Amino acid sequence: MADQPMSGGLVTHGIDITRPSGARVYDYLLGGKDNYEADRELCREIVKIAPEAREWARANRRWLKEVITWLAGEARVRRFIDAGCGFPTADNTHQIAQRMHLQSSVVYVDNDPSVATHGRALLLDNDRTHFVAADLTQPDQVMAHPAIANLLDAGEPVALLMGLVLHHIDDLEQTRAIVRTYVDALPQGSYLAITHVGNPQDGGPVEALVTELGENLKDTTPTLAFRSVEQITSLFDGMELIKPGVVRLAEWHVPGGRLDEDPPHDARDVIYGGLARKR
């Protein structure tokens, strides 16, 4: 996504349907319609190597739903930033949060021009929902955007969601610095929720799988950082990590137990999730 036209961190124009886009590939894996042949071709390649890829995408959405439900309910969070939000799908962040509490506000951020043009209208259901077309690797510009500045203005806790997006940033130290800049700008008591593709680095079948995926996708998806649990955990440095910590999605549950009756199967589970609170 780094080569999309930008202006001061904000996306300005340009949809290229001849090359796959991460947002559209994910949309296709979730059964959506906002995708083109180049995206579907890449999906076919992914599914050839990992037939369970669609289940990973669904498990990720299920995890986000559970976390947002808990944040809006038990943790009483009323403000959400969904960074790298992707196309609208079933149960978007504002729908889950506003179902729990009508006054919840959500700002979506994405740098894919397809999401900006096709997704924006569908995500903007009401005046408590906003869309910012921006590159999240420019946190200062993103945080200065009026929609986000307004959200932070009241000094109330905010939940920052970064679902399956940080693997697009190759360098770990840069990723940590970006996350840190966002967290530093959030009020005390705010939350950070991350899902991330991982590499267990144990010489087992999942490591072999992610290595094969990385090698086969490097031409079409240049930045696909499968990180170790320790590296993903380090993105939460300085925060209070909520139990069970950073674990595979199939093993994760909100405090008090799983809300979802139908947990994802854990075969070759490559996605890790973590939730932390700013002290």
Ligand X SMILES: C[S@@+](CC[C@H](N)C(=O)[O-])C[C@H]1O[C@@H](n2cnc3c(N)ncnc32)[C@H](O)[C@@H]1O
Residues near ligand X (CB under 6 A): 1, 22-23, 26, 60-61, 64, 84-86, 109-112, 115, 135-137, 163-165, 168, 195
Closer Cβ to ligand X, 84 or 157, answer by number: 84
Closer Cβ to ligand X, 82 or 278, answer by number: 82
Sign of CA dihedral 202, 205, 206, 210: positive
From the CB of 155, what's the least distance to ligand X, in Å? 25
From the CB of 203, what's the least distance to ligand X, in Å? 27
Closer Cβ to ligand X, 42 or 64, answer by number: 64
Nearest-CA neighbor of 109 among 68, 66, 144?
Answer: 144
φ, ψ of residue 201 to 5 degrees: the values are 50, 45
Rg (CA), the chain: 17
CB crowding 233-250: b at 16 or more within 10 Å, else e: bbbbeebeebeebbbbbb
Closer Cβ to ligand X, 86 or 157, answer by number: 86
What stretches of the chain show up as alpha helix (H) in DSSP? 22-29, 37-49, 53-72, 93-100, 113-114, 120-123, 139-144, 146-153, 172-185, 205-217, 229-234
Closer Cβ to ligand X, 118 or 279, answer by number: 118
From the CB of 91, what's the least distance to ligand X, in Å? 10
Closer Cβ to ligand X, 23 or 185, answer by number: 23
CB nearest ligand X: which residue? 163
From the CB of 90, what's the least distance to ligand X, in Å? 11
From the CB of 1, what's the least distance to ligand X, in Å? 4
Asked if the peptide bond before residue 88 counts as cis, ω within 30 degrees of 0, the response is no
Sign of CA dihedral 168, 170, 176, 182: negative
Closer Cβ to ligand X, 45 or 112, answer by number: 112
CB crowding 109-130: b at 16 or more within 10 Å, else e: bbbbbbbbebbbeebeeeebbb
3-state SS assignment for residue 27: helix
From the CB of 214, what's the least distance to ligand X, in Å? 16
From the CB of 4, what's the least distance to ligand X, in Å? 8
Q: How many CB atoms lie within 10 A of CB 4?
A: 18
